[in-house]
Structures are given as structure tokens and as C-alpha cells.
Structure 1
Amino acid sequence: MAKFAVGQKFGAWELVEKLGEGGNGEVWKVTTDSAEQCAIKLLIRGGVDEPYKRFCREIEALQKLEEFPGIVPLLESHIPEDPKKERPWYRMPLATPYLDTISDKSVHQITADFELLASTLARLHALGICHRDVKPANFLVLNGMVCLSDFGLVKLPKADGLTPERRDVGAKFTIAPEMRRAASSAAGAPADVYSLAKSLWIVLTGVDLGFEGQYDPQSSTVGLSRYLQDSHYLTPLNELLVAATDHAPEERPSAEDFSRRLAEWVRIDTSFEEKIRHQWREISERLFPLGQPSRAQWEDRTQICSVLKLASRVEALNHMFYPTGGGMTLRDADVAPEEGMIQLRIDENMFDLCAPARLIFEPYPGKPEWSYFRLELRQVQSVEDPDSRFEDTSEEVTEIQPGCYVPLTSWFEGEHNGQSLPDSARRVTRFSGGSIVLFSTTSPYNQDTDTYDARHNMVSTDEFRAYIHENAALAS
């Protein structure tokens, strides 16, 4: 049964089209004889009860916030003398649902919108006003600016509480845990921040149902890395969402800090140099939680793989220079089936095999773009000539089963000794002796194409370190 109908009048305004409906109210497009159009919100139920009092509280809040930027303003309101016979209403400008505007927006543009929303909440909180119903459906775009709307659950300073004990308050998929347990006594400002963080996740991922509990960036279903492009450096954003959805309200950032940290993330993520700087620092902190040494080295091949795997997760940090010249990007690193060897994955079907002697990390404090890894290799037996070792070079072979090699011709012929190659067969490159170095893709070393001549392999470890320090000093 319809609660209101097209053609009904409220003041000078005639209902034209229903725009939305909540638990206690409906929003309609309205017009006048002069064809002016606005939106009107009407209370569904009659009588003086909790919904009526909340509706009046909403009008009171909007009247206090006249000319307040960042919210959809109140233009006109009506509170009847007899609420049993007549419904209260208020009028506001027509605005566009925020979710209808985001299809062509970038991640950074959406984040900028949430900076504005957080700033609006911060100014409301400074006045002692808490929204308590922050969710994407309550974001509207007015005059090109994203705004908060629907203050139906607003909490005003020094106002009598309207929420009964044990009643939850908030939107189902963004509600803070304390608003589920004890909304009548819970602090509204931290709950707004929690709901804003959940709303940001919903908008960025397009998953309307949100997620339960605190944000977990490592979750395969919740982590933003599943939904956003690999080019984004997500650590600062992940850390913000973790903090803003903390179960303890007092551990969450303020709305002002939320806005500031969003802006800082965008600044870092849109600057390639800043992104590299922060990624190097992050890797250093994970490798050396007690402080970065002047040099670090690993000799155990399992540890070496763990370190290289960590570096490979950030494509921009691991351009790999071969001992034979040239270079590729490292995608992953694992212990190889062959005794003493590791495998470096370059692409889906490209693998380099080598026997590590040690991995060295050479950090450059203050200039992380000059930091690098150096992987020193042992000599191994040649597949083509099993009686000899080969040095500072490589050979391409066919691995017909883990750790078992035959000449590369078998790969091209698709068979070995008259039998078809198994599905597990792969073409691999085995390196023997020399060293590999890994620099960030934006490093001055990588930007100089002359360095692809394998010069790092023509000098000792200490000589190469001195060479890098000399060039870094000249670049200052």
C-alpha cells in the first residue's frame, strides 16, 4: 500500500516522483506551478513517537547547520500542530546519488571525495554533532560536491537521548560494533569514522554487502589488493582502514586525521619517486625490524628465496641485471628441485635457475633509489658438458622433470629419446658463477641504459659498492 502518491501536495509543493525510501521516511521529487523542482522528505508514520521525535531532531540539526558546506541543506520545513493528522516534512535541493557518479572515477578521485566527506564529519564533530548513519546511500552530489545527507539518526550536543537501551543505531553494512551493542551510550564520532572507512571500502570494491569486523589487508576476500590495480601502493591506505575499523573506538583516528591520511596516501601513490621511497623503506623495516644495518647478507638458500620473494612482490623494486648482460623483472623466487639451486620466475613460463652463494642487501640511507640487492652465484656443472663447470655465462636447457635436464633441442622438437615431453616440462635458463643485481625500476642505475652491459659482474662486491656510492654522491 502506497504511503504517499503522485499529485499529493505539501505546502506549495506537489509530489512528482519517489526518489527513495527508508524505515521512517520517503524522499520525493516535487514541483510547483512555476515548474521549480526540489526534493522533499516526508515522515511515513503519524503520531508523536520516536520516529516523529527523530524527524524533528533532524530538522533541528539542519536548521543549526544553515550555510554549512558539505551537507545537503534544508530549504524549508514544516512541523504540524497535530502530528496525528498531518505529517512533518522538509524540503531540500535536488541532488544526485553519489553512487550514480562513480563509474568513470579513478581510485584517487574517489579517495578525494572521501577526503571531503571526512572533512565535513570533522567539522560536524567539532560542533558536537554526530551523523551516526554514514553509508554510501547517504552521500549525494550537489553542485559538483559530494555531501552528507539524511540526518535522521543525528546526535546533537546537550540534547536528550532518543535511543532506548540495547537498541542498535546505524546502517547494516557500515555500523560500528559499539552502535550494535549500546548505541545510547556510545560515542558517535568514532562510529562515524568506522562507518566512513567501511563506506570507502564498499565504493572502491563495488561490493555492496561490505565485510564483517576489522579490515584485514591480508584477507583474500577483503584485502584491497584483490580489487585494485597492482600499480597502487596500498600500504598507507590499508593501515588507515585497519585503524579506522578497530574494534576499540578510542583506537580509531579522528575524522580530521582520516582526511589528512587519505590525502597523504594519494600524494604518495601519485608520485613514482615517493612510492619507491616508501616501498624500499617498508621492505627494509620488514627485513630489519630492529633497525637497518649498513649491509646485510644471507647464505641459506631458503632465506635467500624468502628475501627475494618479498622484493618481487613490488614490481617497481626489482629490475634484475644478469651477469651476462641485459635484465628482466623478477616475479617470484623459490627453492629449485636441483640440489643447491633456486629458481627465479621471470614470467609465467620463464624461469632462471642458479646456485646462490650469498645475497647481499646494500641500503643507501637517505637515498633509497640507490639501494640494491646483489646475488652472488656459485659455478655449476654444465648440462651440455657434464664433466665441466662453466662460469659467468648461462645455458638454456629443457627440464623434462624436476631437476632433470636435456638439451634445448628437445624443447623445440617436443620429444626426448622418441617420447613426447611431459606436460610438466619447461624451458629454463641455468646461470653459473658471476652475480645478479636488483635495483628499483626508477633508480638512476636502471635509467642509464649503459648499465645493461653487466658492469656489476666485472668488479668485486666491494668495488661495485664503491662505484654506486660514488655515483650517488655525484647525483646529490
Structure 2
Amino acid sequence: MTTNDFQTRSRALWVDTINQFAPDGDATLTWDNIDDIVRILTPFMGSNKNHSHFPTGGGFDFLSVRKSPERGCIEFRVFTGTAIIAKPHRLVLERLASDPAQSFLMLELAELPPSIDRDEEIDDRIRRRRQEEVLDLGGADYVEHGSLDEDEMTETARNVVRLFNGQVMFVTKGSIWNGNSRFYNGIHDTGTHTEVRKLIQEISDRLAAA
């Protein structure tokens, strides 16, 4: 499959999934219940079915989503044995009628404090990064990486990245947002979903007119 064929297929699948919730026209839909958020996000999960942009830049394909053992949180699987944990505030779906493949979801996060007490210098550095990487021994029992001997590790231990705040943006492969490297620096986290929508619409309109 060529890159163009892959992107065409990805965009078509994305639009089909968007249409499950917003079947036509311009639309802005919101959910703030954690069970609803997991339900809406689930059809978008999977390898090459989405690309998710982190608040501080960069991103991954999110493979699955579920409620986390950590109270009030959800978790995304990105690799085997690795999860992203965040506390959702609201999920917004923005559908663009003129170019539905550019539709996106924005997961607005509630504040999540660090899980481990650290010395002040390390704590300040982690808070500036707005996330922490810890080891989950199971059931949201977090410890620092390297703090346990090998014989103290449990079979359920896994790597966890906990996001403290911000916005996670979900787009499709082959979309305007996914296809431009300048959008990988967390720019979506500096504005509202309305402002991001306006920017995408402007770019889409310029491309259509070219």
C-alpha cells in the first residue's frame, strides 16, 4: 500500500467513526462523564486508527482506552506494558463539514498532582515537565523507577506516564494536523478547541482553493 493509499484509507475510516457521533454538518459535541468519555474514545483507538498529540508536544498512536484503577482517571495503552494516565475534565468532538477528515477530538484534562513525594528540586523539575514517569506495581501503586530490587518486582508491574494537565488532541493519519511537523510542539495546548478548529478550517479552505 502506498503512502497516499494508506492516508486515504485512514481518513475514510476516521470519517466513518466521526459520523457515528456527528453524522453530518458542522458540529461541536461535548462529554464530561468519565464513562461517556471512554465510550466515545473507544472506536477511535487502535494502531494507525488515530494519532494523539500530548500537551507538551509529540505523540503516539493510542491503542486502547479504559477507566484506570487510579480514581477519576482513564488510561491509554501505547505499547505493551506502558500506559498513559490522565484525569479527564471534558471531551470535545469537532466535526468540520467542509472536510470531515480534519475533524478532531480534544480531551481537556483536570489537574493531577504528582504521585510520589520527592525532594523540592526534583519535584519542581517534574512539575515543569507537566508529567511524570513511574512504575505501577498494580492497582495504581506507584514507585520510582529503579527504587525496587528485581526480586521485589511484581508480575503486574508496568511503566506509566501520568499527565498533570493540559489537552490531548486526537486526529487521523493523513490529516492536516498530523502531516505538519510544526504541530508537534504542543501548539494545540496553547488555545481552545474553538481556536484549533478555526486554524484547521483556515488551512483546509486555503488548500481547497489552491
Fold agreement, TM-score > 0.5 = yes
Question: How many residues align structurally?
Answer: 201
Matched residues, percent identical? Answer: 24
Q: CA deviation at 1:423?
A: 0.5
The reply to whether residue 286 of structure 1 matches residue 20 of structure 2 is yes
AA aligned opposite 2:133:
E
The reply to whether residue 405 of structure 1 matches residue 142 of structure 2 is yes
Among 25, 28, 49, the residue aligned to 1:295: 28
Q: CA deviation at 1:293?
A: 5.7
Asked if structure 2 preserves the Cα contact closer than 8 Å seen for 1:392 and 1:431, the reply is: no
Whole-angstrom distance in 2 between the partners of 1:323 and 1:414: 33
Q: CA deviation at 1:372?
A: 0.9
Among 24, 28, 45, the residue aligned to 1:312: 45
The reply to whether residue 444 of structure 1 matches residue 176 of structure 2 is yes
5 Å-filtered alignment, 1:18-417, equals 271-288=5-22, 294-313=27-46, 315-385=47-117, 390=127, 393-410=130-147, 413-415=148-150
Whole-angstrom distance in 1 between the partners of 2:140 and 2:79: 19
SS in 1 for 2:55: coil
Among 191, 195, 206, the residue aligned to 1:463: 195
Indicate the residue corresponding to 1:250 in structure 2. none
AA aligned opposite 1:307:
I
Residue deviations 1:410-457, cap 9 Å, x none?
Answer: 3xx545xxx611101111000011001011111121111121111111
5 Å-filtered alignment, 1:11-22, equals none
Whole-angstrom distance in 2 between the partners of 1:365 and 1:414: 55
Q: CA deviation at 1:367?
A: 1.1
More strand by share: 2
Change (3 A) 1:317 1:473: farther
Asked if structure 1 preserves the Cα contact closer than 8 Å seen for 2:55 and 2:186, the reply is: yes
- For structure 1, list consecutive stretches of 5 or more residues without a partner in the other structure: 1-230, 232-269
Change (3 A) 1:403 1:475: same
Q: Compare 377-386 and 424-433 and name the one that shifted more.
A: 377-386
Whole-angstrom distance in 1 between the partners of 2:162 and 2:63: 17
Q: CA deviation at 1:281?
A: 2.9
SS in 1 for 2:19: helix
Q: Please, what is the CA RMSD of the aligned residues?
A: 2.5
Whole-angstrom distance in 1 between the partners of 2:95 and 2:202: 14
SS in 1 for 2:27: coil
Q: CA deviation at 1:333?
A: 0.3
Whole-angstrom distance in 2 between the partners of 1:320 and 1:350: 15
Asked if structure 1 preserves the Cα contact closer than 8 Å seen for 2:134 and 2:160, the reply is: yes
SS in 2 for 1:464: helix
AA aligned opposite 2:102:
W
Change (3 A) 1:392 1:468: farther
Residue deviations 1:369-388, cap 9 Å, x none?
Answer: 31111111111121233899
Residue deviations 1:154-208, cap 9 Å, x none?
Answer: xxxxxxxxxxxxxxxxxxxxxxxxxxxxxxxxxxxxxxxxxxxxxxxxxxxxxxx
Whole-angstrom distance in 1 between the partners of 2:25 and 2:77: 28
Indicate the residue corresponding to 1:453 in structure 2. 185
- For structure 2, list consecutive stretches of 5 or more residues without a partner in the other structure: none
Larger radius of gyration between Structure 1 and Structure 2: 1
Whole-angstrom distance in 2 between the partners of 1:392 and 1:359: 23
Q: TM-score, normalised by structure 1?
A: 0.39
The ranges of structure 1 where at least 4 consecutive aligned residues each deviate by more than 6 angstroms after the TM superposition are: 386-389
Asked if structure 2 preserves the Cα contact closer than 8 Å seen for 1:323 and 1:392, the reply is: no
| RCO comparison, higher one (Cα < 8 Å, 6+) | 2
SS in 2 for 1:444: coil
